[in-house]
Amino acid sequence: MHKTKNLFELMKHIIQPAFIGIIVAILMILVFPNSIRQNVSKHPVDTSVEDNISHQLASKISFSHAVSAAAPSVVNIYTLKDEKNNYLKTSLGSGVIMSSDGIIVTNFHVIKNAVQIKILLHDGRESPAEIIDWDREIDLAILKVNLDDLKPISLGNPD
């Protein structure tokens, strides 16, 4: 149990904020794809200069590379939950592949009361998942899938 506590301490201080940051970044990209470019081009300037600056900023501000790099590591998580009065409910969440051996991190509320968990990969493959551990207090859960060729998320700058 001491090993599990150390693992959750690591996750509480490093992995959970990184996971939340990745999810927030992806959501911002999906919800506000043009807002940065619109804010940059609100002030009137010489159009030739504006076109040149807009082109340079668009290439520097674009999040498409980050999304393309992260997408294969993000999974959909489908659960079948046993609610009160034997009522079964399906739900959807997301998670991030943390290691090539099938460790996936998600939020506890995604898998809470789940009687069945299935993940869907970016490449279309599906797999059942088992709960390895969870912590209700920090809303974090660790799942495991048995699939080959998984692409774990790259945290930090590899350069």
> Which residues in the chain show pLDDT less than 70?
1-17, 27-62, 83-88, 157-159
> What pLDDT, on the 0 to 100 scale, is given for residue 49?
55
Q: Who's near 15: CB < 8 A, 6+ residues apart?
A: 98, 105, 140
Burial class (CB in 10 A: 0-12, 13-18, 19+), 38: exposed
Range of the domain at 43: 2-69
Q: Give the domain-ending residue among 13, 41, 69.
A: 69
Closest CA to 69 of 112, 126, 29: 29
Q: In the prediction, which pLDDT does 96 show?
A: 93
Q: How many domains does the chain have?
A: 2
31 lies in some domain: yes
Do 22 and 53 belong together in one domain?
Answer: yes
Q: What is the pLDDT of residue 56?
A: 61
Q: What is the pLDDT of residue 98?
A: 93
